[in-house]
Amino acid sequence: MANNAGPRPRRRSAADLFFFSRNLDAANAARSDLINMVEEMRQRSSQLDNFASSLPKVTESDLTALGQSDSTCPICLTSLLAILAEEETAVAMDSPAHPIEELGVTRLAQTCGHIFCRKDIRVWLYQGHTTCPTCRTPFIAGTATTGSDPEAIPGAPPLIVPVGLETDATSFDAFLDDEVTSAFEAFLQGPARRPGGNRNDAAEARGETQPRREQEEYQEAHFEYDHDRSEFSGMYS
């Protein structure tokens, strides 16, 4: 089957970081794109939560009316009637093995109408997928991505989402952490404002003729020759 998605953009490298540290316009554009990407991901996550909460419960009579009594879940391949029987048993118990909202059978009534067990389709949604696993019909509008950015800064490397970030909720939460955001902003401010930045520039700003780092290396290299040699004077008399 032909792949019409096109080539994947390359991943970030140290050269890209150097480029952003020296090009303020590109750095500001990248930061703006990053903020927009995070906001879009937050909105998509909220929409997927609402979609999962709105999934209806399908009964045995509903399956009969739809002609799906003998069908299986396309994900786990378990009989739909067996899933309904498991739900009845779990509801009768004081402490079911799975949450109540993950029991039974559901149908994507708002989109394509395909039927799944509730547990598997909810896992599919919470992994970040935005299309039906059977027919790829989108769950929410506006999930298609564009291949180019008309407002991109000429010469700036294209901004991409790291592999796995779009589907892994744990990675997404870590990505949104304040410390990571602060570190990214500190980098965009330039090496002179970062802790441990360009020491040569800092030394020149203090009026030192020789950078402190070079002085430390010089002293360390000549340390063994600077001690008192008077104790060896009798050896050569």
pLDDT per position in the chain (237 positions), as tens? Answer: 445 555 555 556 667 666 666 777 777 777 788 888 888 778 777 888 888 888 999 999 999 999 999 999 999 999 999 999 998 888 888 777 777 888 999 999 889 999 999 999 999 988 888 899 999 999 876 554 444 443 444 444 444 444 444 444 444 445 445 555 555 566 555 554 544 545 555 555 555 555 565 556 555 555 455 555 565 555 555
Enumerate the domain spans of the chain.
15-50+162-193, 54-126, 196-226
| Nearby residues of 166 by Cβ (< 8 Å), 6 or more positions away | 41, 128
Strand 115-117: give its sheet, edge to edge. 57-58, 105-107, 115-117
Per-residue model confidence as pLDDT tens digits over 188-222: 555 545 445 455 555 555 555 555 655 565 555 55
User: What is the predicted pLDDT for the residue at 62?
Assistant: 92
Q: Are strands 115-117 and 105-107 parallel, antiparallel or unpaired?
A: antiparallel
How far CA 159 is from CA of 11, 41, 236, in Å, comes to: 9, 15, 71
Q: With contact defined as beta carbons under 8 Å apart, do 116 and 105 qualify?
A: yes
Cβ-count burial 159-189 (b if 16+ within 10 Å, e if not): beeeeebbeeeeebeebeeeeeeeeeeeebe
- Number of residues that this document lists for the chain: 237
As beta bridge partners, residue 117 has 105
As beta bridge partners, residue 79 has 72
| Nearby residues of 138 by Cβ (< 8 Å), 6 or more positions away | 111, 130, 131, 144
User: What is the predicted pLDDT for the residue at 18?
Assistant: 64
In 3D space, the residue among 158, 153, 168 whose CA is nearest the CA of residue 13 turns out to be 158
User: What is the predicted pLDDT for the residue at 94?
Assistant: 74
Q: How far apart are CA 96 and CA 193, in angstroms?
A: 56
What would the DSSP string read from start to end of 109-176? Answer: TTTT--EEEHHHHHHHHHTT--B-TTT--BSSTT-PPPS--TTPPTTPPPP-PPTTTTT-HHHHHHHT
Return the SS3 of 97.
coil
